[in-house]
Structure 1
Amino acid sequence: MKNSFTRRFMYEVLSNIKFIKYGIKNPKSLKCENMLSPLTGRFWSYRYQDVCGIESDKYLSEPYFYNKLEAKVNDFDLNKFLDHKGYISNILNSNTILSIANCISGTIYDGNNDVIELNDLIVLLEQSEPNVEFVIKRSIGTGGGNGVEIGSANHVVPFLKNYFNAKYDFVIQPVIMQHDGLAIFNPSSINTVRVMTFAYNGNVFPVSTVLRMGNGGRIDNSAAGGISIGVDNTGKLRDFAIDHDFKKYYQHPGTSIKFSDGYFIPYFNELLKLVKDKHKFLKSHGIISWDLTVDNSGKMSIIEYNAGWGEINFHQANNGPIFENHIKHISCINK
């Protein structure tokens, strides 16, 4: 039911009720305008601009984004396949993270795509050096960091057994290296570059970029306690980050790094070119959200992408009305 009409309709009703209550508590929001959602959109506009400081009537409310844009330009019948982590390398062909093991429908395949037995995989992992770490994650349904574990073989193997016995599809991958310019904010997590791309009329537009950072833990997702910070069109980080509740941070709460000191995403233009090129492999979908990283040598990796329910809130709260230059096209979609 994840992408059903019923779920989306109920989501829209409940979200708008929540924001109408927010608007009542914040009377100034009644003076705001929203071009695409004139009635309830004003409350969303006020919430976003109250955080990022950019006034505009061209914000997309969260329900509008999911039900009037994403649902119109993405073929959700394909999502279960496209979002399956075991198939990402097959779909994108390059710049993905090679798997040590890939379990699909109860069969485990090794890095050479040969079948390997569970006990042999366990032995393989346990023979690794004690300081070698792995990532195990379920192939479907890891939103918010759920179903993702990082650690040595001793930590990962119990989850491997549980996932296999529960008949989950999953992948096991090495922990990849990240550029020093990304690791500096929270060294214990892979701090990923999230880019949203919007494709139409044969063109691919990177509409927003944020850097997601862990906050003392291994996961950078905001639902797991991480924070995100906006990135401008030159690759420079903005002066503040936000958490899941839109609380603002002018320095990293763990490492005390001041964001206003002028930090940039390394290889920013190259990362944007990569996702523009790779979006063309996903022609059935107009909107894709990409999780990326790059190492010190410039090697770029696509950790995963989201073909549906790609988070919009932290993009607009960090970067403002990210679809401002595409409102005319979006309006035509809903005529």
Structure 2
Amino acid sequence: MATDCSQRPFSRRDSLAALLLAFSTPLAARADGYPAKPVRLVIPYPPGGGTDITGRAMAQRLAETLGQTVVIENKPGATGMIGAASVAKSSADGYTVLFGAASEMAINASLFKNMTYDPRTDFEPVMLVATFPLVFVAQASSSRSLAALIEAAKAKPDSVSYGSIGSGSPQHLAAELLSSMAQAKLVHIPYKGSGPLVQDAVGGHIDMAVSSVPAAVPLVRSGKLRALAVTSSQRSDALPDVPTMAELGFSGYEFNTWVGVAVPKGTPRDIVDRLRSGLLAALAAPDVQSALRDQGAMPVGSTPEQFRQFVQDEVAKSDRIVSQAGINPE
């Protein structure tokens, strides 16, 4: 759940206020001439994915506000941990920056006991950029609602299947949170990527799938899939007619993926503030807003303190879900 230091959830009003602040407050003064050379933005995923698309859009605008080149470095592997670890071990000078996501910055800490970094302590948080809802979908011809599928699973455990993009993925945890709250045993079927996942949902080979919004929206709009619910606390602008879990009776349910920016531990606060000012201005740019809308995202623009608390809360939330579901990485 997205929370600030007072434990209050981020809202669309908070997000708008943060973006307005980018224009009403001057950019932080350059810290000792920072940046005096190109800034390296590490994206711990391959080119073309949602994190990469958002990161590249942000980087272009960030370069303009910093007055310095921002070099993208895709460093994929180990569900984001290779890229994140490389940033954690870099010099704390603001020239190596992580554009990270939920897995390597929170979920993996609940799954892997021998990580080479701790997302809670080895970074200086800069800003939570945006949150991304997931969506539960089913074959278009299926007449069963999400409530009906849950009731079927409660009446006959292991009779209802769902797919995700892999064990320990955000999609997997989102479904297991639902399973726990509903006290219904669902059968998890992991896939290697969104493509085969949604195609099997279209074919009715699984009862439902937990998908990213971009992968599901074209199939929902073409009538090949039926959207059952979004995982955010508010409806998604990309799927405005699809209810939230809370609207379907699962009060308190919320599970989003997200992207945020962090730098190595020990990076001076004035550099962190300079980066955040540039990121806020980038986040307000029309092309960045468009890139986020295409993914059904909600821009945030948190403070470093809010982002630090958010990561701690997300790790704790992942710990609970992983423990209750007995999830082990593949």
Q: TM-score, normalised by structure 1?
A: 0.28
Q: Which has the higher helix share?
A: 2
Larger RCO: Structure 1 or Structure 2 (Cα < 8 Å, ≥ 6 residues apart)? Answer: 2
State which structure, 1 or 2, has the greater radius of gyration over its C-alpha atoms.
Answer: 1
